[in-house]
Amino acid sequence: MNENLFASFIAPTILGLPAAVLIILFPPLLIPTSKYLINNRLITTQQWLIKLTSKQMMTMHNTKGRTWSLMLVSLIIFIATTNLLGLLPYSFTPTTQLSMNLAMAIPLWAGAVIMGFRSKIKNALAHFLPQGTPTPLIPMLVIIETISLLIQPMALAVRLTANITAGHLLMHLIGSATLAMSTINLPSTLIIFTILILLTILEIAVALIQAHVFTLLVSLYLHDNT
């Protein structure tokens, strides 16, 4: 019970070298591919889920926005698999690192904003000043809208980091309580263990939902700028 709660969030190293890159490259290896004309059930289900997700995100986009479909589908698959692998015992979850989430959020956000300024400069600038704004409030609203635009990638990264980190900490605390109670009171241990199982199921859902939310928000930023 006295161990550091945040020890599992420290980036692992191998012979003093950071192993985070290898961990990040590992999830794509788990995605099955087929070399045959007729796919098996696993490949068919995977393709159905990818088509369903892509259709849901790309319906609201125009032709220019749909050029991002491959990137967005790859993003949601990567985040979902990384989050799920992080639920395994003695594993490391890269999405608990704010630096990594910022490295995903900032380029995608910047690409969407730059595309908006290049193709729809008037509409992009119009977001900084809503129609019908009183003249005395114009400078204040421009500052507020500029700040709200600049904090979008930070909000994306912090939301993903906070949700994944909070779930892992809660599972760690309840798991430690289960071990501590196992030698004291067996009925209480069974109750806490049941709560731990239910929390694990919830964290699996959270891992998938947060991947979808992250990608969906990037898709909405893209939609506003295309």
**What's the 3-state SS for 52-74?**
HHHHHHHCCCCCCHHHHHHHHHH
Q: Give the pLDDT confidence score for residue 15 in this predicted structure.
A: 65
Split into its structural domains, the chain has a count of: 1
Q: Give the pLDDT confidence score for residue 1 in this predicted structure.
A: 44
Q: Give the pLDDT confidence score for residue 25 in this predicted structure.
A: 76
List % helix, strand, coil for the chain (3-state, nearest 5): 75, 0, 25
- Alpha-carbon separation of residue 31 from 35, 42, 119 (angstroms): 13, 10, 36
CB 217 within 8 A of CB 108: no
Tell me the pLDDT tens digit for each residue of 110-162: 888 888 888 777 777 777 776 777 777 777 877 887 888 888 889 999 999 98
Q: Give the pLDDT confidence score for residue 2 in this predicted structure.
A: 46
- Residue 53 pLDDT exceeds 50: yes
- pLDDT tier, 6 (very low <50, low <70, confident <90, very high otherwise): low
Nearest partner of 81 among 218, 224, 204, 179, judged by Cα: 204
User: Which residue has better confidence, 6 or 212?
Assistant: 212
- Residue 105 pLDDT exceeds 70: yes
User: Residue 200's domain spans which residues?
Assistant: 1-225
The predicted model scores a pTM of: 0.79
**Percent of all residues in the chain with a pLDDT value above 90, rounded to a whole number:** 4
Q: Give the pLDDT confidence score for residue 18 in this predicted structure.
A: 67
Q: Give the pLDDT confidence score for residue 67 in this predicted structure.
A: 83
Rounded mean pLDDT, 206-225: 87
CB 98 within 8 A of CB 161: yes
User: Which residue has better confidence, 212 or 39?
Assistant: 212
Integer-rounded Cα Rg, in Å, for the chain is: 22
Report the residue count for the chain. Answer: 226
Rounded mean pLDDT, 60-80: 83
Q: How far apart are CA 180 and CA 129, in angstroms?
A: 58
